[in-house]
Chain A
Amino acid sequence: MAAMRMREALNAALREEMERDESVVLMGEDIAVFEGAFKVTQGLMDQFGERRVRDTPISENTIVGTGVGAAMAGLRPVVELMTVNFSLLAFDQIINHAAAIPYMFNGQVRVPLVIRMPGGGGHQLGPTHSHSFEAMFLQIPGLLVACPSTAADGKGLLKAAIRDDNPVIFVEHETLYGIRGEVPDDPDHIVDFGSAAVRREGGDVTIIGILKMAHEAERAAETLASEHGIEAEVIDPRTLRPLDLDTILESVRKTNRVVIVEEGWPHGGVGANLAALIQEQAFDHLDAPIQRVTGADVPMPYSKRLEQSAIPHPEHVVSAVLETMIGAKPRA
């Protein structure tokens, strides 16, 4: 184990997979000479050369499409889009092509492509650089969606993504790049897709959070325990597709109460999706309506106060949990 930041963990994953497999190629805007807008690709051009670490023009749809074609012809490209908002320029290649090709050509060809993109608010980047689009990607059959919240998961999930034969949307959170954590040194440390992490055990309520909101959920759980005597179980699904619904349902059957936290918008969000699945599968186990805590339903504002006000914080989570606990029997 070694303590490292998220960006270093992601960098290590890229480096190790490139050392392990010659077919792994990196492409993206400013990833080589500039070493990435968030420095995730630091040092990689020096180590692997421009043949394998490629600066691209600002042409998102074509960068992703080039990744699709290269993947179809046997490479394992990892494409970096500078922010999730820029991925909107590449939706045609992501949805009409990367996601559809394996199915529409009946499995004759695979698209082992990873598309990395940082998103989320907190840096005052305003309405075109701060959003959370996990829910949009989650909706697309054919794509896998990973959302790491810790350095160890960042490394393990990225390595799993690169080795996976499906197209993967790999969402990173801009404010988590500096977060520190213990990361296994083992070059084969893989976090399997479809395996949720139970961050904290508890019997009173299940809180599900992704990316930065996994941390806010944990903070809320600490407050709930210390100030309200409520023991929350905190689950980070880690991948939204595939989804470890079984771990979530197991927890719900135990706690009978659920709060889902995400930074994205409420309509058609990750929480909306999870709430539907949970009520279908565990209706009889629910003692209260499922609560969602989401980002505000507006484009992300620039003003520091407005921006922070639009993003969920532990207080919001605590408040939602208390709402689900109304009428609950006090614990013995």
Chain B
Amino acid sequence: MADEEQTSEVRTPAGVLNSSRGRELPDGETSRELLRQMALIRRFEEEAGRQYQRAKAGGFLHLAIGEEATIVGTTSVMAPDDYLIGTYRTHGHAIARGTDPKNVMAELFGREDGTARGRGGSMHIFDGDRRFMGGYGIVGGNLPIAAGLALASDYKGTDDVTVCMFGDGASNTGNFGETMNLAALWSLPIVFLVENNLYGMGTAIERHSAVTDLSHKAEGLGVPGERVDGQDVVAIRECVADHLEIARRDRRPTLVEAFTYRYRGHSAADPEVYRDKHEVEEWQRRDPIEIFARRLIEAGTITEDDLASIREQVEAEVLEAVEFADASPEPPLDSLYDNLYVFEKEHEGWYAVDERTPDPFRGEREREAAEDERVRELHEAGAAYGGQSPRSGGGSGEGPAEETDAPADSAQSEEEGEVDAEQAAESRQQGPGGIG
């Protein structure tokens, strides 16, 4: 009995976590799979960061290095038909749901084989077949959508549960309050999961939230919560499993606050002036992958050789993903308007109006318009500012060949001609002062 009551304690600026969860290891096969997935996500993210520095991936890049246990612990106990919806830091969530890392990497590269064919990018990964209902770029924007997914499950009488993951910063948005109230009012089967990594971008939790114990933040709105160690994959797994059961059986929403930490900046353009190096080192001692691997070795579940072999396996898988992404073609220019609208029948009227050419044309007839040589040339001329595509045949050659600036860095974008990858990387490290 005494052993069962024993708790582990984690101290953070957001408060102290006492939890007795995660004492019992899952079976050997499950444990190895948890470790493999975490290691895969870690290597994927490291490599994504490297490819970003090489300017193969653009835009913003938010890495989940350090948060792998929270992700994998959660997805590992979800049923295949449960919905998962997340934030702009969800490469790992998709991979944990079963999306091929190749397609996620191709999306980062903005290529044809990406999860959204280069329409969404890093912040908007989606895999409907695996009920990964998307990464969302607006902080808190996914919360009401989660309520809608759960409403549909409830309405159809299925026992699917929606898991809605978001960061500590999102707990300050209006959507948080509105959605908690609605979900509780309508008894929706949702598990809200705060990935509390202690910072809303560069603002520490005690500087952005009056209530720092987020597990209680929705209580007054009818959604009770529990705090759990997000660095302990076994603890989070156990905790989320219980909450899924509450949603499935009792038809009511609850909230899980997972204490976690990102070892990299908010995005790849984050100089990290807001936190102490020692703090990062402190959390690195609680690296979710290291902790779990050591535990498995000590328990005799795996050997050092097994661990090395897992690392080799994920290394190969990630390198293969990069190779695949790099070989994937650029999306064809005449696919620009694809999937803007759903057309059931021969459509009447003008849906989209394209004014890039002297004669406007209907966007939904982009393909027909592009048969005109002058139209095609103009589109190619525009695309050339995004770099020449060896696979799509290139354009007029008039535009700068490699414009690889990070957004909002106007000094760089005014430069003529080629910007090499190193320069691009440098400009990113200086970083946009904005939301990067």
Q: A residues engaging B (CB < 8 A)? A: 25, 51, 54, 56-57, 59, 61-75, 77, 92-93, 96-97, 101-110, 141-142, 144, 164-166, 192-195, 239, 241-246, 277, 280-281
Q: B residues engaging A (CB < 8 A)? A: 83, 85, 115-117, 119-120, 124, 126-128, 133-134, 136-138, 141, 143-153, 155-156, 174-175, 178-179, 181-182, 185-186, 338-342, 344, 347-353, 359-360, 363
Nearest CB of A to B46, in Å: 26
Nearest CB of B to A203, in Å: 24
Nearest CB of A to B329, in Å: 15
Contact B152 A73 (CB under 8 A): yes
Contact A104 B120 (CB under 8 A): yes
Contact A73 B119 (CB under 8 A): no
Contact B348 A68 (CB under 8 A): no
CA distance A42 to B363 in the complex (A): 40
Nearest CB of A to B164, in Å: 10
Contact B349 A62 (CB under 8 A): no
Nearest CB of A to B157, in Å: 10
A residues within 8 A CB of B186? 54
Contact A66 B141 (CB under 8 A): no
B residues within 8 A CB of A142? 340-341
B residues within 8 A CB of A244? 348-350
Nearest CB of A to B189, in Å: 12
Chain A interface mostly helix, strand, loop or mixed? mixed
Contact B149 A242 (CB under 8 A): no
Given known pairs A51-B155, A72-B133, A242-B351, the reply for A97 and B119 (CB within 8 Å) is: no
Nearest CB of A to B43, in Å: 26
Nearest CB of A to B396, in Å: 25
Contact B175 A61 (CB under 8 A): yes
Nearest A residue to B125, CB-CB: A105
Nearest CB of B to A108, in Å: 4
Nearest A residue to B176, CB-CB: A62
Contact B146 A69 (CB under 8 A): yes
Contact A193 B349 (CB under 8 A): yes
B residues within 8 A CB of A67? 148
Contact B151 A70 (CB under 8 A): yes
CA distance A64 to B146 in the complex (A): 12
Contact A141 B179 (CB under 8 A): no
Given known pairs A59-B182, A242-B349, A242-B351, the reply for A72 and B149 (CB within 8 Å) is: yes
Contact B338 A242 (CB under 8 A): no
Contact B178 A62 (CB under 8 A): yes
Nearest B residue to A100, CB-CB: B124
A residues within 8 A CB of B117? 106
Nearest CB of B to A169, in Å: 14
Nearest CB of B to A102, in Å: 6
B residues within 8 A CB of A107? 338-339, 342
B residues within 8 A CB of A110? 342
Nearest CB of A to B289, in Å: 30
CA distance A165 to B185 in the complex (A): 29
CA distance A107 to B117 in the complex (A): 10
Nearest CB of B to A319, in Å: 30
Nearest CB of B to A52, in Å: 8
Nearest A residue to B349, CB-CB: A194
CA distance A244 to B349 in the complex (A): 4
Contact B126 A108 (CB under 8 A): yes
Contact B119 A105 (CB under 8 A): yes
A25, A56, A97, A245: the one within 8 Å of B349 (CB): A245
CA distance A193 to B340 in the complex (A): 16
Contact A66 B144 (CB under 8 A): yes
A69, A105, A164, A277: the one within 8 Å of B148 (CB): A69
Given known pairs A105-B134, A109-B128, the reply for A92 and B141 (CB within 8 Å) is: yes
**9 A–B contacts from the bound complex (CB under 8 Å):** A61-B144, A101-B134, A105-B120, A105-B128, A106-B115, A106-B339, A193-B348, A194-B349, A241-B349
A residues within 8 A CB of B138? 92, 96-97
Given known pairs A65-B141, A195-B349, the reply for A106 and B116 (CB within 8 Å) is: yes
Given known pairs A59-B182, A73-B83, A103-B119, the reply for A245 and B350 (CB within 8 Å) is: yes
Contact A65 B175 (CB under 8 A): yes
A56, A106, A109, A166: the one within 8 Å of B341 (CB): A166
A residues within 8 A CB of B338? 106-107
Contact A66 B350 (CB under 8 A): no
A residues within 8 A CB of B339? 102-103, 106-107
Among A65, A108, A164, A243: residue with most chain B CB under 10 A: A65
Contact A69 B147 (CB under 8 A): yes
A residues within 8 A CB of B85? 69
**Which 6 pairs of residues, A with B, have the shortest CB-CB distance?**
A69-B148, A194-B349, A65-B144, A242-B349, A107-B339, A73-B152
Nearest CB of A to B67, in Å: 23
B83, B115, B348, B352: the one within 8 Å of A195 (CB): B348
Nearest CB of A to B124, in Å: 5
CA distance A64 to B351 in the complex (A): 23
Nearest CB of A to B160, in Å: 9
Contact A66 B352 (CB under 8 A): no
Nearest CB of B to A30, in Å: 15
Contact B119 A104 (CB under 8 A): yes
Contact B128 A108 (CB under 8 A): yes
B residues within 8 A CB of A61? 144, 174-175, 178
Contact A66 B349 (CB under 8 A): no
Contact A96 B141 (CB under 8 A): yes
B residues within 8 A CB of A101? 134
CA distance A62 to B186 in the complex (A): 13
B119, B120, B350: the one within 8 Å of A243 (CB): B350
